[in-house]
């Protein structure tokens, strides 16, 4: 990836998207290959200091207040908690800043996701790695998230994320990759994937690349 780039990863369930991210971050041991962050092998801890990661199915500790969790997350990056800045960025994914003073307890998937997104964007890292970042978000929050990702790119920062929503990939990504059976079937601009010689639509092209055929209408 390059600075100022949005890169999307897609594929059917079980294709290996989450495993690829975890292997790159040394959260899983890869069978082969190696990831590099800013020219440093991913197995070297300091290579990942400039990257922030939001996992799929993120669940914050229920006993903490939201602000306490954000402070803890930022501490892993040796960053302090700036409450005014947090209040401003909280509105980006449509999170009420007043909620930062509340105990997390048992939040909905969407509310937990908004808190996780706030934490990773507050790191201001050159690279964000987001596994299904729109999962659980309502339509308004999804729109706001895409705007936030674009704004991050405009500041010459990079965002790598996975998604099953092909329209989102086409809308905001500079490049995408289609992963299937542990192999990349396509890497490049989304429109290049869609505009094949057979003039398939974007969704049909995805099915062809993943060797899956769309269901025929009755």
pLDDT in tens, 36-59: 999 888 888 888 889 999 999 888
Alpha helices by DSSP H, the chain: 17-24, 66-75, 83-90, 109-123, 139-154, 166-172, 190-194, 202-209
Question: Cα(157)–Cα(13) distance, rounded to whole angstroms?
Answer: 28
Segment among 95-99, 129-133, 204-208 with least mean pLDDT: 204-208
> What ranges do the domains of the chain cover?
6-183
Q: What is the mean pLDDT of residues 135-152?
A: 94
Per the CB < 8 A criterion, the answer to whether 62 and 104 are in contact is yes
Look at 199 and 212; give whichever has higher pLDDT: 212
User: Angle at CA 28, nearest 5°, toward 71 and 123?
Assistant: 25
CATH of domain 6-183: 3.40.50.300
Instruction: Pick the closest to residue 162 from 2, 59, 54 (CA basis).
Output: 54
Lookup: tokens for 181: 């059976």
Contacts by 80-84, CB closer than 8 A, 24 or more apart: 82/122
């Amino acid at each position: 990836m390059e600075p100022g780039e949005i890169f999307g990863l897609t594929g059917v369930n079980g294709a290996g998207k989450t495993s690829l991210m975890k292997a790159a971050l040394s959260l899983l041991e890869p069978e082969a290959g190696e990831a590099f962050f800013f020219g440093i092998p991913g197995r070297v801890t300091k290579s990942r200091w400039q990257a922030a990661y939001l996992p799929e199915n993120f669940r914050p500790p229920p006993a903490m207040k939201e602000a306490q969790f954000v402070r803890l997350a930022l501490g892993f990056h040796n960053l302090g908690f700036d409450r005014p800045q947090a209040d401003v960025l909280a509105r980006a994914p449509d999170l009420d800043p007043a909620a930062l003073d509340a105990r997390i307890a048992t939040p909905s998937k969407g509310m937990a996701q908004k808190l996780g997104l706030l934490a990773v964007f507050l790191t201001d890292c050159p690279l964000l790695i987001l596994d299904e970042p729109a999962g659980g978000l309502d339509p308004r929050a999804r729109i706001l998230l895409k705007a936030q990702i674009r704004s991050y790119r405009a500041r010459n920062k990079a965002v790598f994320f996975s998604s099953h929503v092909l329209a989102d990939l086409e809308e905001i990504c500079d490049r995408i990759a289609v992963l299937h059976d542990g192999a990349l079937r396509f890497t490049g601009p989304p429109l290049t994937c869609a505009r094949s010689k057979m003039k398939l639509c974007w969704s049909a092209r995805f099915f062809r690349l993943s060797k899956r055929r769309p269901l025929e209408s009755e």
